[in-house]
Amino acid sequence: MDKLRALQCVMSAAMEKSFSGAARALDVSVPAVAKMVTALEKNLGVALFERTTRGLTLTASGEDYVRACAPALALLDEADEQARASTARLKGTLVVGVQHTIARGCLTAALPRFHARHPDIGLDVRDFRHATEDDMNGLDVILVLGWPNMPNFVQRPISAGRFIVAASPAYWAAKGTPKRPTDLERHECLPIRAIDGTVMSLWTFTRGAEQESVMATGWLTTTNAHRDMVIDLAVAGHGVVRLLDWANLPELASGSLVRALSDWESPEAPPVNLIYRPGVRRMARARAFMEFVIELFQELDQIRGGRVSGSERPPWLRRRYERSSASMARS
């Protein structure tokens, strides 16, 4: 029995909670992983995993064994990655979970540049909505908006943003451009639900010592998954939308959407977070991707005129589906 390979199979299976996830991470077949784990269990005389239809769970003996072996394997993995990085191009597949807003807003256009830099790294990009530990299964790195609470993972805010209010030139010409945030009460606003289901209908603005909040309502509310619908309708002249300032640069640059209230700030825009398990940074291809994403948002910060200060989690964000941010702020 190849003891080192068996240990790697056990560690990957424990992290992924399945033999299939471990096989993907190690680039081997599922039967090969199962055979290695079974052989090691036989050699040790203990069961390391409980096997159920829902996946794998470490036994008490398995937890003790994994905890004892982890430091040595981590050092070996790091030495291997450093050696490979110094002698060969980075290669392998990286599974990246990305929220749609981030993918459409800036990442998609930049990915060919990453591929040109690292042609042997394959990216498996998957949709990602909620930042929970269970949803991290099978993902190496995630990019997510908001204020996630994942204490067992490395969580790095890499960019903040501003909310801006925009509509088409035809809409502003027909309805009038608002001079103050409260003027939006007379407009057809198109609010979006946050990923927790809360309708983000309370739009708050500041200008120096001034602060104004407005209940943004209109004929349409969409989920975050259908954010593109709101953008397309706003471009077509059917209402006012609130955008992240880095998420719709083509529409703003082309003039198909025109910003209003540019002398006001909207302080509740969610930050962009890079989240990963502590051990993922030992993967050279993961480090390369994370460094690329950080560089990308630094470039966007420069386009916007400098880094924006991050905002705190809004008080209305309490995971109560079907309620609006305005009603929750009052509750």
The domain segmentation of the chain, as residue ranges, is: 3-87, 92-160+270-303, 163-267+318-330
CATH class of 92-160+270-303: alpha beta
Of the candidate CATH numbers 1.10.3720.10, 1.10.3210.10, 1.10.10.10, 3.90.850.10, the domain formed by 3-87 belongs to 1.10.10.10
Query: For residue 320, what pLDDT is reported?
Result: 46
Query: For residue 86, what pLDDT is reported?
Result: 52
Tell whether the torsion through CA atoms of 241, 246, 251 and 253 is positive or negative: positive
Task: Extract the residue ranges of the chain whose pLDDT is less than 50.
Answer: 87, 319-323, 328-331
Angle (nearest 5°) at CA 303 between 297 and 305 = 105
Q: Whole-angstrom distance between the N-terminal and C-terminal Cα of the chain?
A: 62
| Predicted model pTM | 0.64
- CA–CA separation, 297 vs 244, rounded Å? 13
Q: Are domains 92-160+270-303 and 163-267+318-330 of this chain identical in fold? A: yes
- CA–CA separation, 164 vs 261, rounded Å? 8
Query: For residue 180, what pLDDT is reported?
Result: 95
- For residue 98, CA distances in Å to 20, 177, 181, 258, 263 come to 22, 35, 32, 27, 32
Mutual angle of helices 19-26 and 30-44, in 10-degree steps: 110
Of the candidate CATH numbers 3.40.50.170, 3.40.190.290, 3.30.1360.120, 3.40.50.2300, the domain formed by 163-267+318-330 belongs to 3.40.190.290
Kind of pairing, strands 121-127 and 92-98? parallel
